[in-house]
Amino acid sequence: MNYNEQNKQNAYKPIKENPIILDFTGCKYWWEIHLLLKTKFGLPDSYGKNWDALWDCLRYLWADGEHMEVNICGYSSLPEDLKKYCETMLEVFSDVHRDTPNVVFELIS
């Protein structure tokens, strides 16, 4: 892999919406959750699809002070095992908000 290909793989994509709508309605598998997060947050192709990787990607994403809202929809419709799996995701969101108060996560449903 050459330098340009590696940089492209590690680059974040621009986020064009505010609020960001995370709609988990219809998700049945853990990888669908991570694909949605990767897409909506513009995460790099190298995103590791786990909660530590999500923290690593999000903790500095809005450090410039830009106000960002994230609405979490469809969470209550997740299968119980997937909802349990995603509890750590909600903890990551809480930690991001604590460290970056300009980012607000709201659980809609």
pLDDT tens for residues 46-59?
999 999 999 999 98
Q: What is the dihedral of CA 29, 54, 103, 76, to 10 degrees?
A: 20
Burial class (CB in 10 A: 0-12, 13-18, 19+), 32: middle
pLDDT exceeds cutoff 70 at 12: yes
Does residue 11 have a pLDDT over 80?
A: no
Cα separation, 17 vs 89, whole angstroms: 20
What would the pLDDT profile of 55-99 be if each residue is shown by its tens digit? Answer: 999 988 887 778 999 999 999 999 999 999 999 999 999 999 999
- Domains of the chain, with CATH numbers? 17-107 (3.30.370.10)
Strand stretches in 26-80, DSSP E: 68-73
Q: Which residues pair with 21 in a beta bridge?
A: 71
Distance CA 1, CA 3 (A): 7
- Cα-based torsion angle of the residue sequence 8, 50, 83, 43 in order, rounded to the nearest 10 degrees: -20
pLDDT at 13: 85
